[in-house]
Structure 1
Amino acid sequence: MMAAFNRAMLCVAAFLCVAFVTPAQDLSAETTALAEIIKTGNIEQKRDALFTLRNIGSAEASRAALPALNDKDPMVRATAAASVVFLSPTEAVSALSPLLNDRDPFVRREAALALGTVRHSSATDALLNSLRRDRDAEAKTAAVIALGEIGDAKAAAPLTNILKNNPSEEDEMLRRSAARSLGQIAFFSRTGRHYSITPQNFLPEKFKEQIESDAEKAAHLTVFQTALPILAKVLNDAREADDTRREAAFALGAIGDKASAAVLQKHLNSPDPYLAEICKEALLMIKTG
């Protein structure tokens, strides 16, 4: 009788051990298994593991992805870049910055975009260096996009310099991204918030986001004052791509200098409905800022 009782109790104990495994324990076991795949799997297995780690979205998962940043295959390294962004910002920047020097331009591009996701100013200098020396158009554009996501005003002058050149089909994405990033940096300087949608919507003014900030306006900073005439020229230039002109209008509003109102008003009746709406929102940012 006692032996039967003991066996029953062991069964209950085993059931309880299984039943009370916490989600965190399950997740830790999954992360460990994925880390092993990154060490021993083939290219597709490693990439699948990295996608899963990215979807987990924890520091532990990102740490498990770190070895893949040094994988011999560029597709694995590129995939790993987006999987380590959940580390602490300084740790993520430290891990990703060396990939800006990778021999493969796709890896450099993905590293720059990942640094933009991290949004930490300690990455600004590395991205500016990448912008200066990288000859690959997509990698250079990715650095520009990342600088806008970070919002560090140190990047405003180099981004303005991009727009000083005459427009061409080859650098359309670079110019569009530079104008966009200038607007994002200016908006962050004014509000401490990141801006993502241009235009916000096509609704009446009362449904638009209002700027309420006691911070020093970006228009008072010399670096943005230098950008104003360049952005106005881009907005007025019919040779520019439509998207570049739209982003220039957004940037003028984000900077918030009242002197930009005239050039924005000029395009309120543009045949491009997106440009007209963005100019309306830009004027609102100037008025409410």
Structure 2
Amino acid sequence: MRVKFAVFLLLELLIMVLNCGERRACHYIEQLKSGDKETRIDASYQLLLMGKSAVEPLIQVMRSGDERSRFIAIQLLGKIGDSRAVEPLIDALVGESLPLREAAAEALGKMADERCVPPLIDRLHHDPAPSVRAKAAEALGVLRYIAAEDALIEALQDTSAEVRVKALAALECFWDSRLNPLFVKMTEDPDEEVRYVAVQILQHTRFPGALRQLIKLLNDEVPAVRQEAAYALGEIGDKRAVRPLLIMLVEYEDEADRKAAQTALKKLTGAEYKVLE
């Protein structure tokens, strides 16, 4: 009898704690509507501290609150990372305003749940907004489920450079050496940011097959791209790059170009190179 009574009291106490937590969450959620930025920031912080006990109230406001409150709720649900939020966040990927779709895609990338992958792939292929497609690509890279690899490869042909950049960066997260030739090909992209990211990836992977293309990129019209190409050649370590790097060192007057060439040459030869004025 005493055991049953103790269990009953424990359950009552648990219910009281849960109800108290929900009331606190509702109080802070109400403050998300405030016109005062500091009030909204403080309320968001308190909800984040509440963690899992704030999930259900946040899901509720995400479904029926005003635009700003919904946006904040989506962000907080992503940060909390509770699996109960996965389906509501998936629903928010379609038919909502642009900021909410972007926030939902980003939040799903933080959920570490395989259910997030198919809807993110769908948005990567079909959302009309490049920014949402880019967020979907970024999220798939964070999740790193192999099922997303083909979709990200296809996204490298997207008409938006922003999407191509995010798809490239996401593919690097898979650490698949079979992708290296594809990264080399993307250094020929007409967009300078895409080329820059592709060269950065090749610097990280140190793919020997990139040598010829990286040497060619030492003459890229964009300083950041040719400088990154020089650094990548230094990392790859093939001494056939020494002569092109020496030419770069002598012919370019930009200090950043010379520094990149000098750094790469030192890695390749162990020697310090300077230009005599």
Range of TM-score over shorter length: 0.5 to 0.7
Counterpart AA for 2:128: R
Cα RMSD of the aligned pairs, angstroms, is 3.7
Kept in 2, the 8 Å contact 1:62–1:86? The answer is no
| 1:18–1:44 CA distance, 2 compared to 1 (3 A) | closer
Counterpart AA for 1:181: I
* 1:175 and 2:195 correspond: yes
| 1:119–1:271 CA distance, 2 compared to 1 (3 A) | farther
Higher relative contact order (CA 8 A, sep 6+): 1
Q: Please name the residue that 2:213 is paired with.
A: 230
Kept in 2, the 8 Å contact 1:147–1:181? The answer is no
Kept in 1, the 8 Å contact 2:110–2:139? The answer is no
Percentage of pairs with the same residue: 28
Counterpart AA for 1:126: A
Q: How does 1:85-164 map to 2 (within 5 A)?
A: 85-88=109-112, 90-101=114-125, 102-132=127-157, 134-164=158-188
Which runs of 5 or more residues in structure 2 are unaligned?
A: 1-8, 22-46, 271-277
* 1:84 and 2:108 correspond: yes
Shift of 1:257: 3.0
Q: Please name the residue that 1:30 is paired with.
A: 54
Which runs of 5 or more residues in structure 1 are unaligned?
A: 1-9, 188-217, 220-224
**Runs of 4+ residues over 6 Å off in structure 1:** 21-25
| 1:125–1:280 CA distance, 2 compared to 1 (3 A) | farther
Q: How does 1:1-289 map to 2 (within 5 A)?
A: 18=17, 26-56=50-80, 58-60=81-83, 63=86, 65-88=89-112, 90-101=114-125, 102-132=127-157, 134-164=158-188, 171-184=191-204, 186-187=205-206, 218-219=207-208, 225=209, 227-235=210-218, 237=219, 239-267=220-248, 271-279=253-261, 282=264
| 1:277–1:146 CA distance, 2 compared to 1 (3 A) | farther
| 1:278–1:115 CA distance, 2 compared to 1 (3 A) | farther
State the TM-score, normalizing by the size of structure 1: 0.65
- Distance in 2, matches of 1:89 and 1:18, equals 29
| 1:61–1:18 CA distance, 2 compared to 1 (3 A) | closer
